[in-house]
């Protein structure tokens, strides 16, 4: 077959990106698009049309000369972004529910049918969105079908309605361990709108012929199931062995660890996504870069960090939060930020804050281990704080582990790796 390429697309919260890689994972082309502002009425954004337009804009952005080499395509979307469509036409029956939208009306109903502390027991879960729509729309629901954002965009490419992946389907209640919807969900009248579920990066079918010929993709180009945006970002770091982890140092501190065992603890907001025969365990603390930004400019952060000796432990013990309340690794909604006493020297102050955040990170990994996850042995870093080399050295000392910056952190790169996986799998396409 010769030289082939793999296309990943990420539909994130603020825009969409594509990354085209070769078999070695080297990027051959990439690009991004903002979502065009299309309106249904004066106030209501037409998200469905905007996403669709963006999808085809990204395909146009892929260099014409590289398109004939593309073997497979995959897409990630924002978790819990939900569409209710007509299963005969694919047209939306209802406006889409966005990832962060809450449906408090459905929460008591969902809590009454789901096991205690299940992932669906949150107002913004896909299941709450489904129940809220089911109870508010009086029209005929015979042909209704639920799809996640990534499923629907992939459908535009392959044309087979009703397919999702077990990462996107987790928040609608799918059980990835038993690879089925649980009986408490299947006994509900709305269970017939649920999509069928495959592993992420499984080939679904060939790219539709009209799209293929319009854009100049090859005849054997397959479309593969996707995942959620945060899982795609983890996949980008290529941390494929149990014990490898990614700490994201953005506005908040989020950790994700590849584990051989599944762990869940609603008190700490800890849960696991399936990745083939392993589990991706995640937790998020409210500490992180937002506090740093309240005190220092990014330029100050760089200058001051250069003057810190990372080999020396700071005696200052803070709990940097930008508002009251913490969830993980300490579950305390009333926790008060602690950033006192402030020394005269800003270098010492920053050293104390970076060291304290590193201690919280260490506590987070050790809590996951206590809960039964695989012990972490190497940490990759993503987010705005990843470029701080002094901080990485402080973290290596405090964690007692190798810490490095992840080479790739774009979710679109992770989606491209899923496309590569889908193309390499020997699955017969019906
Ligand atoms: P978001 O979560 O908003 O996407 P980013 O990943 O863009 O965040 O990271 C932004 C954060 O990175 C800011 O809160 C900022 O304080 C922090 N940051 C920027 N530069 C540095 C630096 N040199 N050292 C540590 N933190 C930094």
| Residues 381, 244 share a domain | yes
Atom number of ligand 1 nearest to Cα 302:
23
Cα 233 to ligand 1 centroid, rounded to whole Å = 16
In the predicted model, what is the mean pLDDT of residues 294-315?
97
| Residues 59, 174 share a domain | yes
Picking from 311, 361, 315, 303, the residue whose alpha carbon sits closest to that of residue 341 is 315
Nearest protein Cα to ligand 1, atom 9? 384
Strand, helix or coil at 305?
A: helix
Q: Is the CB of 295 under 6 A from ligand 1?
A: no
CA angle centred on 100, ends 108 and 384, rounded to 5° = 140
| Residues 291, 274 share a domain | yes
Q: Quick one: pLDDT at residue 386?
A: 97
Per-residue pLDDT tens over the stretch 381-403: 999 999 999 999 999 999 999 99
| Residues 57, 195 share a domain | yes
For a substitution probing ligand 1, which of 14, 78, 385 has the most ligand atoms within 8 Å of its CB? 385
Residue 46 inside a domain? The answer is yes
Q: Quick one: pLDDT at residue 36?
A: 97
Question: Which structural domain range is residue 32 located in?
Answer: 5-230+412-424
Q: Quick one: pLDDT at residue 430?
A: 45
Cα 83 to ligand 1 centroid, rounded to whole Å = 33
Q: Is the CB of 322 under 6 A from ligand 1?
A: no
Residue 429 inside a domain? The answer is no
Strand, helix or coil at 65?
A: coil
Cα 295 to ligand 1 centroid, rounded to whole Å = 12
Residue 430 inside a domain? The answer is no
| Percent with pLDDT over 90 in the chain | 95
Cα 300 to ligand 1 centroid, rounded to whole Å = 12
| Residues 196, 271 share a domain | no
Residue 92 inside a domain? The answer is yes
CA angle centred on 327, ends 324 and 328, rounded to 5° = 130
Atom number of ligand 1 nearest to Cα 290:
14
pLDDT category at 223 given cuts 50, 70, 90 is very high
| Residues 382, 418 share a domain | no
Q: Is the CB of 302 under 6 A from ligand 1?
A: yes
| Residues 312, 212 share a domain | no
Element (DSSP H or E) covering residue 414: helix 411-424
| Residues 181, 316 share a domain | no
Per-residue pLDDT tens over the stretch 28-77: 999 999 999 999 998 899 999 999 999 999 999 999 999 999 999 999 99
Are 75 and 415 contacting, i.e. CB atoms less than 8 angstroms apart? Answer: yes
Residue 347 CA to residue 165 CA, distance in Å, equals: 48
| Residues 418, 400 share a domain | no
> Is 0.85 exceeded by the ipTM?
yes
pLDDT category at 332 given cuts 50, 70, 90 is very high
Per-residue pLDDT tens over the stretch 165-221: 999 999 999 999 999 999 999 999 999 999 999 999 999 999 999 999 999 999 999
C-alpha R_g of the chain: 22
Per-residue pLDDT tens over the stretch 138-169: 888 999 999 999 999 999 999 999 999 999 99
Residue 385 inside a domain? The answer is yes
Residue 153 CA to residue 147 CA, distance in Å, equals: 9
What's the total number of domains in the chain?
A: 2
Residue 235 inside a domain? The answer is no
The CATH code of the domain that includes 10 is 3.30.420.40
The residues, any chain, with a CB within 8 Å of residue 379's CB and separated by 6 or more, are 245, 246, 247, 365, 395, 399, 401, 402, 403, 404
Cα 383 to ligand 1 centroid, rounded to whole Å = 6
Atom number of ligand 1 nearest to Cα 383:
6
| Residues 172, 274 share a domain | no
| Residues 280, 350 share a domain | yes
Nearest protein Cα to ligand 1, atom 26? 385
Q: Is the CB of 292 under 6 A from ligand 1?
A: yes
Q: Is the CB of 282 under 6 A from ligand 1?
A: no
| Residues 101, 184 share a domain | yes
Q: Quick one: pLDDT at residue 140?
A: 87
> Which residue(s) pair with 75 in the sheet?
9
Q: What is the mean pLDDT of the chain?
A: 96
Cα 332 to ligand 1 centroid, rounded to whole Å = 24
Residue 261 inside a domain? The answer is yes
Q: Is the CB of 298 under 6 A from ligand 1?
A: yes
For a substitution probing ligand 1, which of 247, 289, 303 has the most ligand atoms within 8 Å of its CB? 289
Picking from 27, 15, 152, the residue whose alpha carbon sits closest to that of residue 416 is 27
pLDDT category at 266 given cuts 50, 70, 90 is confident
């Amino acid at each position: 077959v010769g030289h082939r390429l793999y296309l990943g697309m990420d539909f994130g919260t603020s825009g969409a990106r594509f990354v085209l890689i070769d078999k070695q994972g080297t990027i051959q082309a990439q690009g991004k698009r903002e979502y065009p502002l299309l309106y249904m009425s004066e106030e209501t954004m037409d998200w469905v049309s905007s996403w669709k337009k963006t999808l085809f804009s990204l395909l146009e952005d892929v260099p014409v000369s590289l398109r004939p080499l593309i073997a497979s395509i995959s897409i990630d979307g924002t978790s819990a972004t939900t569409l209710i469509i007509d299963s005969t036409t694919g047209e939306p029956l209802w406006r889409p529910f966005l990832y962060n939208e809450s449906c408090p009306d459905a929460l008591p109903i969902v809590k009454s049918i789901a096991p205690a502390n299940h992932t669906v027991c949150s107002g913004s879960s896909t299941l709450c969105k489904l129940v809220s729509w089911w109870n508010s729309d009086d029209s005929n629901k015979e042909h209704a079908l639920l799809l996640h954002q990534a499923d629907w965009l992939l459908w535009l490419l392959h044309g087979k309605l009703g397919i999702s992946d077990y990462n996107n389907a987790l928040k609608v209640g799918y059980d990835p361990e038993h690879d089925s919807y649980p009986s408490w969900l299947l006994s509900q009248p709305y269970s017939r709108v649920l999509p069928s579920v495959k592993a992420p990066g499984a080939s679904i079918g060939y790219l539709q012929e009209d799209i293929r010929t319009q854009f100049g993709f090859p005849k054997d180009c397959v479309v593969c199931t996707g995942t959620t945006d945060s899982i795609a970002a983890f996949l980008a770091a290529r941390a494929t062995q149990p014990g490898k982890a990614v700490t994201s140092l953005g506005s908040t501190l989020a950790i994700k660890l590849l584990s051989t065992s599944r762990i869940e603890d609603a008190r700490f907001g800890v849960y696991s996504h399936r990745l083939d025969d392993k589990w991706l365990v995640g937790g998020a603390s409210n500490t992180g870069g937002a506090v740093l930004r309240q005190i220092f400019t990014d330029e100050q952060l760089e200058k001051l960090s250069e003057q810190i000796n990372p080999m020396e432990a700071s005696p200052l013990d803070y709990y940097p939060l930008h508002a009251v309340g913490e969830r993980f690794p300490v579950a305390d909604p009333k926790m008060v930020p602690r950033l006192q006493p402030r020394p005269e020297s800003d270098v010492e102050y920053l050293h104390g804050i970076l060291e304290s955040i590193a201690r919280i990170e260490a506590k987070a990994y050790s809590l996951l281990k206590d809960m039964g996850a695989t012990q972490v042995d190497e940490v990759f870093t993503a987010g705005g704080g990843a470029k701080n080399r002094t901080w990485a050295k402080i973290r290596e000392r405090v964690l007692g582990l190798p810490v490095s910056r992840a080479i790739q952190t774009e979710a679109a790169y992770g989606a491209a790796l899923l496309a590569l996986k889908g193309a390499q799998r020997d699955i017969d396409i019906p």
